[in-house]
């Protein structure tokens, strides 16, 4: 079943009209082969898996049945994963991702996971940035047309055949130097940056 889903996904990706917009600061990091953390919302994963090979991504995947499918696809695209969940092995998964980033891999994190609330960044991405001393790249995605899975808490969507997919990778936010007493302020700033990147991606789609 994993192979079938992966094959269908590859066919979908081949039909998409994809545009990735990289901020100048990010281009500098990539040219110098310095790792970064791409921070996006839950629900964007199906529109982003195809970027795994392009950016050499590593990420955390859940131990659920759906997580196993995503894990399989990421590995087939050449990525690296650390598996865990909020109830089973979550801390271990973060430690595994820390090891991957410290070894030079870029990371991708759905920052409002694993169970929401939707569009509210959690502490994990900031700990990863602080411990590895790597910047966070706000990542905004827009696609049209899509199928939205309304029953999912994170409103996961899948771009349909021949969809336009726009990914905006914004200016990197500096690594955290110390653990904040509260993540409220840094979370609000990251949320605003991701939302701005998503808005920019939406404007690109609307303009054509």
Is the distance from CB of 160 to CB of 47 less than 8 angstroms? no
Query: Beta strand pairing status for 136-148 and 157-169?
Result: antiparallel
Task: State the number of CA atoms in the 13 A half-sphere of 179 facing the CB.
Answer: 6
Q: Is the pLDDT of residue 65 over 90?
A: no
Distance CA 205, CA 145 (A): 10
Q: What percent of the chain has pLDDT over 90?
A: 70
- Left if phi > 0, otherwise alpha if psi is -120 to 50, otherwise beta: which for 78? left
The H or E element spanning position 79 is none
Tens-digit pLDDT profile for residues 166-203: 999 999 999 998 887 667 889 999 999 999 999 999 99
Is the distance from CB of 136 to CB of 190 less than 8 angstroms? yes
Peptide bond into 114 cis (omega under 30): yes
What are the backbone angles phi and psi of residue 35, rounded to the nearest 5°? -70, 150
Can you give the pLDDT at residue 23? 98
C-alpha separations of 6 from 51, 65, 75, 94 in Å: 14, 14, 11, 25
C-alpha separations of 53 from 57, 84, 105, 205 in Å: 7, 22, 11, 24
Tokens of 141: 């995605």
Q: Is the pLDDT of residue 90 over 60?
A: no
Is the distance from CB of 164 to CB of 206 less than 8 angstroms? no
Q: What percent of the chain has pLDDT over 70?
A: 95
Tens-digit pLDDT profile for residues 12-28: 999 999 999 999 999 99
The H or E element spanning position 11 is helix 2-15
């Amino acid at each position: 079943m994993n192979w079938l889903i992966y094959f269908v996904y590859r066919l979908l990706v081949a039909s998409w009209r994809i545009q990735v917009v990289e901020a100048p600061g990010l281009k500098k990091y990539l040219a110098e082969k310095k790792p970064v953390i791409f921070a996006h919302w839950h629900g964007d994963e199906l529109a982003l898996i195809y970027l795994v090979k392009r950016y050499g991504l590593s990420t955390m995947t859940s131990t659920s049945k759906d997580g196993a499918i995503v894990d399989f696809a990421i590995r087939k695209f050449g990525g690296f994963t650390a598996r865990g969940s909020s109830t089973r092995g979550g801390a271990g998964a973060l430690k595994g991702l820390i090891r991957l980033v410290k070894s030079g891999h870029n990371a991708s994190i759905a920052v409002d996971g694993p169970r929401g609330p939707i569009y509210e960044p959690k502490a994990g991405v900031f700990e990863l940035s602080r411990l590895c001393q790597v910047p966070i790249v706000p990542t905004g995605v827009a696609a049209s047309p899509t199928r939205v899975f309304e029953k999912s808490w994170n409103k996961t969507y899948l771009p349909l055949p021949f969809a336009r997919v726009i990914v905006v990778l914004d200016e990197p936010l500096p690594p955290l130097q110390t653990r904040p007493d509260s993540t409220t302020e840094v979370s609000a700033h990251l949320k605003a940056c991701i939302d701005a990147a998503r808005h920019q991606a939406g404007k690109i789609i609307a303009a054509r």
